[in-house]
Amino acid sequence: MTSQATSVAGADWLSNGALARLLAVLDRDGEEARVVGGAVRNALLKMSIAEIDVATTAVPQDVVSRVEKAGFKAVPTGIEHGTVTVVIDGAPFEVTTLRRDVETYGRHAKVAFGRDWKGDAERRDFTINALSATRDGTVHDYVGGLVDLAQRKVRFIGEAKTRIEEDYLRILRFFRFHAAYGKGELDHMGLHACIEARDGLEQLSRERVRMEFMKLLVAPGAAAVLQSMADGGFLTFVLHSVPNVVHFSAMAAIENALALPADAIRRLAALVVMVTEDAERLSGQLRLSNAERMRLLSMAQVWWRRIVPVGDRLARPWLYRLGTSHFTDRVLLAWARWNVPPDDPQWRELASLPQRWSIPQFPLKAADLMQRGVAKGPALGAALAVAEEAWIAADFPSDQASLDKIADAASNT
């Protein structure tokens, strides 16, 4: 395919700021530099741009020399593969010399540096990720990415089987990118190739699987894609569990209705966590952090089975004991599992309690009970616990008369 070109309308991000300074240094004196990949794709879709990658015909040593002479910081993050991270005013840019595969075996391909933009595009994963843009806003397409982007189609470049065998993580990336950018059905040829190569997922490190899967969970089209993955047997490889996509879909709908950001851990719990053993297994399978593990364990408790809209008076003790984060997790999980619509007013009221009521601090201290004759030691701790329970049961009073009454009663137990 010959190069097809268009332009990025309103490409101020290319002509201003740190990126423009970087391109001015690399795109001259016989060498060319372009922005490549996701930044170009997102700019054309008018979506936010998180990371900016640059490709260049200059060899890595030349890149380092040029940027350091310009006063930028060069970090050799993958210089043997042609990649240098350039830091300008605190902003990192990954700069990679054009490459061609000499020998391919999994993700550890041997590469040689080159000057062929078409060849560099053809070695990437999906057509929509192989676009490149020059600093004047011209977008170059060698693999049909512009057409696929217009149709919101995620399609492997060349033969899907070959692209997957180069790196089996591309199976998960196929699903993740469709969930993020695709519309309609998955590309049939790509899906068939993924099914054929499904066993290759077992070769991937848990860290790499986690990286892709957690991103997939928060993508806009995650629910439909996860159902396709479940039907194709992929989730068994990833999660080693039987998923419940209905609960996942309900969680996503509730988050959207409440204008909450998509939360990967909460969605993971809705998808597959029913008991604490599920939480423990997933923590190891997906290499979750300790904080993420604790959230899953909290949602795995039987609390969600008991949580229903009960009014603020009865719900405030839950919020006090759990804290805002765990309370919200458990309420939304219960909501998703009780098959209640996301516009239900009673559940919305329960979920909004942390915004309407600030968790108070227990006002009574050890000194308050010691003044009433309670001695230091286990008896004092027990009396404080009794007082706190009485304070919670009384709906967290703050007036002195109520507190004195609670302290007096606790001191006499």
Of 191, 208, 239, which residue is a domain's last?
239
Average pLDDT over residues 230-253: 94
Same domain, 114 and 75: yes
Provide the domain count of the chain.
Answer: 4
Distance CA 7, CA 44 (A): 9
Six token digits for residue 206: 């848990």
pLDDT of 18 over the 60 cut: yes
Helices (H) and strands (E) in the chain, counts: 24, 10
pLDDT of residue 195 exceeding 90: yes
What is the structure's pLDDT at 101? 63
Mean pLDDT of all residues belonging to the chain: 93
Q: Is 230 helix (H, G, I), strand (E, B) or coil?
A: helix
Same domain, residue pair 72 and 177: no
Q: pTM score, two decimals?
A: 0.88
* Amino acid found at 219: A
**Residue 357 CA to chain centroid, in angstroms?**
29
pLDDT, residue 241, reads 86
Strand residue runs (E) in 53-150: 53-56, 73-78, 83-88, 91-97, 99-103, 110-113, 132-133, 138-141
Residue 312 has pLDDT above 80, yes or no: yes
> Is residue 2 over pLDDT 60?
no
Other CB atoms within 10 A of residue 100 CB: 15
CATH number for 101? 3.30.460.10
In angstroms, rounded to a whole number, what is the distance separating the alpha carbons of residues 307 and 330?
8
Q: Residue 104 pLDDT > 60, yes or no?
A: no
Q: What is the pLDDT of residue 79?
A: 87
pLDDT given for residue 78 in this prediction: 87
**Region 278-301: what's the mean pLDDT?**
94
Note whether 264 and 284 are same-domain residues.
yes
Give the confidence band of 81 by pLDDT, cuts at 50, 70, 90.
Answer: confident
Say if residue 251 is in the same domain as residue 276: yes
Q: What gap in Å lies between CA 318 and CA 357, rounded to an integer?
A: 12
Q: So what's the pLDDT on residue 152? A: 97
Task: State the Cα torsion 369-371-372-378 to the nearest 10°.
Answer: 40
pLDDT digits over 323-366, tens only?
A: 999 999 999 999 999 989 999 999 999 999 999 999 999 999 99
Query: Which of 182, 205, 239 is the last residue before a domain boundary?
Result: 239
Question: According to the model, what pLDDT value does residue 286 have?
Answer: 94
Model confidence at 306, pLDDT cuts 50, 70, 90, reads confident
Q: Do 341 and 375 share a domain, yes or no? A: no
Question: Percent of the chain scored above 70 by pLDDT?
Answer: 94
**Pseudo-torsion of CA 361, 362, 364, 367, nearest 10°?**
-70
Indicate if 132 and 197 belong to the same structural domain.
Answer: no
Q: pLDDT of 129-155, one tens digit each?
A: 999 999 999 999 999 999 999 999 999
What confidence score (pLDDT) does residue 394 get?
Answer: 97
Q: Are residues 189 and 75 in the same domain?
A: no
DSSP 127: G
DSSP string, 275-339: SHHHHHHHHHHTT--HHHHHHHHHHHSTHHHH-----HHHHHHHHHHH-HHHHHHHHHHHHHHTT
Q: What is the mean pLDDT of residues 313-328?
A: 95
With cut-offs at 50, 70 and 90, classify the pLDDT of residue 231.
Answer: very high
Same domain, 257 and 324: yes
- Domain enclosing residue 49, as ranges: 1-151
Which contacts qualify for 183-189: CB closer than 8 Å, 24 or more apart? 183/151, 183/152, 183/153, 183/221, 184/152, 184/153, 186/154, 186/225, 186/228, 187/153, 187/154, 187/155, 187/156, 189/155, 189/156, 189/160
Name the domain boundary from 217, 239, 261: 239
Share above pLDDT 90 across residues of the chain, in percent, rounded to a whole number: 86
| Predicted pLDDT of residue 6 | 65
Give yes or no: residues 375 and 330 share one domain. no
100 and 211 co-located in one domain: no
Pair type for strands 73-78 and 53-56: unpaired
- Same domain, residue pair 4 and 145: yes
CATH of the domain at 172: 1.10.3090.10
- What's the pLDDT at 252? 98
- Residue 110's pLDDT is 63
- The yes-or-no verdict on residue 399 having pLDDT over 90 is yes
If asked whether residues 407 and 299 sit together in one domain, one would say no
Residue 9 has what pLDDT? 57
Kindly indicate the confidence band of residue 4, based on its pLDDT and cuts at 50, 70 and 90: low
